[in-house]
Chain A
Amino acid sequence: MAVAFDAATDVLESAGDGVVSLTHTATGSDRAAFAGNCLIAGTTTTASITYAGVGMAEIWDFLQADGRAQAAYTLAGPSTGAQTVTATCDSGNPDFQVLGVQTMTGVDPTTPAGTPVTASGTTGTTISVTVGSVGADDLVVDQAFFYTPGTSSIGADQTLRNTENPSIYFVRQSSQAGSAGGVMSWDSTDTFTAWLLGAVAFKPAAAAAGWGPLIGLRNNRLVGSPA
């Protein structure tokens, strides 16, 4: 069964102290969570993200000139119901901080995500990353943090999940069915003068085993149903 999108929540804080929380509600079975944190704060990056008090696993954390940083974390089996997700910067006082969370269902509980890819730059009218080894039942999730004076647009097969516009910047999270491949892209009518992009594929849970032949004893004789 394919990984399915569940819910999305985001928060933007400006001129805060570097610790921000939101309440996210996940439902369904074989759940997984993706959380991303984007900020501008000199050399500050993300120290941690927790989901219902459980530490999430960092899959990327990178910093660009002028203090732009973005990080992403994953967690298999996040708690259901309304839960607090908290992002903490490794030192305080970012100009702004955006925390976005997505949850999905039908995810492999042991290895929820594949190998992440990231890229950054200061030019181009198209930005993209290509996630490798994407299966048709995967769900590819990305987080883009960019500035462009033009009008930006999302890749054709991507669905916008979270969006915030801190200061002059844009923070976007989207997802794409694995059947559409692993390319996650954003276009602009003008140059992306600063951009950081990361993506990862969430992997499907193994299909439940079907019933095998039923075998038992009746009147001390071995009986069974056809396989």
Chain B
Amino acid sequence: MAGVVATRSVILTARGMIAATARIRLPPLAETVGLTLARRTTATPLVWPDDTGRLITRLVLTLDGVTIVLAQGSCSGGIRLDRLGDEIPEYSLQASSYRWVDRVKTSVIALAGVAEVHIEVELVRGTVTTTAGVVVA
């Protein structure tokens, strides 16, 4: 079951600025890591108010001291509608990576002695004020 294990506010005002969470130790049974960002909706007009604000998002794993960007995405501001016309309240990015050890599906997290995750969001343009969450499942 996915769960938010950390949150932080994000206020980015200059291109290239990066907001990151602290590294979070992952339990050996964790398989999926993710991040969430609150998006503006009609009900939450103060979240990410700049429509031009655009971010690059990263899920960063550190496995036994070796750091990799497990996944990277990007998102832009403004009220976002899905194909049914409903407002989307949240951006999310989640990823998993597996190897097969003795024919058993094994997460790269479980293969590491010490596994940690943190997230980064980097401002590409505009300004962004939102809340970020780290998800572990």
In the bound complex, how far is the Cα of B96 from the Cα of A93, in angstroms? 22
Residue in contact with A23 in the complex, picked from B69, B80, B91, B94, CB distance below 8 Å: B69
Q: In the complex, what's the smallest C-beta–C-beta distance from A105 to chain B, in angstroms?
A: 12
Instruction: Tell me whether A15 and B75 are in contact in the complex, defined as CB-CB below 8 angstroms, given that A40-B83, A95-B83 are known contacts.
Output: yes
Nearest CB in chain B to that of A10: its residue? B96
Residues of B contacting A: mostly: strand
Interface residues on B, range: 20 to 34
Q: In the complex, which residues of chain A have a beta carbon less than 8 angstroms from the beta carbon of B95?
A: 9-12, 22
| A17 contacts B by Cβ under 8 Å | yes
| A82: nearest chain-B partner, CB-CB | B68
B residues within 8 A CB of A160?
Answer: 105
CA distance A75 to B33 in the complex (A): 27
Contact of B80 among A12, A15, A161, A164 (CB under 8 A): A15
- B62 an interface residue at 8 Å Cβ cutoff? no
* Interface pair B83/A20, CB less than 8 Å apart: no
Residue of B nearest to A102 (CB): B98
| Interface range on chain A (Cβ under 8 Å from partner) | 20 to 34
Output the least CB separation between A119 and chain B (Å): 23
Q: Does B51 contact A (CB under 8 A)?
A: no
Q: Pick the contact of B39 from A15, A20, A24, A164 — CB < 8 Å?
A: A15
B residues 19-55 touching A (CB-CB < 8 Å) = 39, 54
With A17-B54, A17-B76 as known contacts, state yes or no: A11 contacts B82, CB within 8 Å: no
Known A15-B39, A23-B68; judge A8-B74 contact (CB<8 A). Answer: no
Q: Are B83 and A66 in contact (CB under 8 A)?
A: yes
Q: Can you name the residue of chain A whose Cβ is closest to the Cβ of B60? A: A23
Q: A1-56: which have CB < 8 Å to B?
A: 5-17, 19-25, 40-42
Decide if A67 is an interface residue (CB 8 Å cutoff): yes
B3 at the interface (CB under 8 A from A): no
Q: How far is the CA of A6 from the CA of B75 in the complex (A)?
A: 32
Closest Cβ of chain B to A144, distance in Å, is 17
Q: In the assembled complex, which residues on chain B have CB atoms less than 8 Å from the CB atom of A41?
A: 83
Report whether A8 and B97 are in contact in the complex, using a CB–CB cutoff of 8 Å. Answer: yes
Q: Which residues of B contact A10 (CB under 8 A)?
A: 95-97
Decide: B83 and A15 in contact? CB cutoff 8 A: no
On chain B, the residues within 8 Å of A164 by CB distance are 94
Answer yes or no: B15 CB below 8 A from chain A CBs.
no
Chain A neighbourhood of B108, CB < 8 A: 25
- Contact across chains for A12 and B94 when beta carbons are under 8 A apart: yes
Q: Give the residues from 143 to 166 in chain A that come closer than 8 angstroms, CB to CB, to chain B.
A: 160-162, 164
Name which residue of chain B comes closest to A93, CB basis. Answer: B80
A11 and B94 within 8 A (CB): yes
Given contacts A24-B97, A40-B83, contact A13 B92 (CB under 8 A): yes
* Among candidates A6, A9, A19, A42, residue contacting B74 with C-beta atoms closer than 8 Å: A19
- Of B39, B73, B82, B105, most buried by chain A (CB within 10 Å of CB) is B73
Closest to B36 in A: A14
What distance in Å separates the Cβ of B33 from its nearest Cβ neighbour in chain A? 10
A5 to B102, CA, bound (A): 12
B72 beta carbon closer than 8 Å to chain A: yes
- Write 14 A-B pairs (CB below 8 A) sorted by A numbering: A9-B70, A11-B93, A11-B94, A14-B88, A17-B73, A20-B72, A20-B93, A21-B69, A21-B73, A22-B95, A84-B69, A95-B83, A95-B88, A161-B98
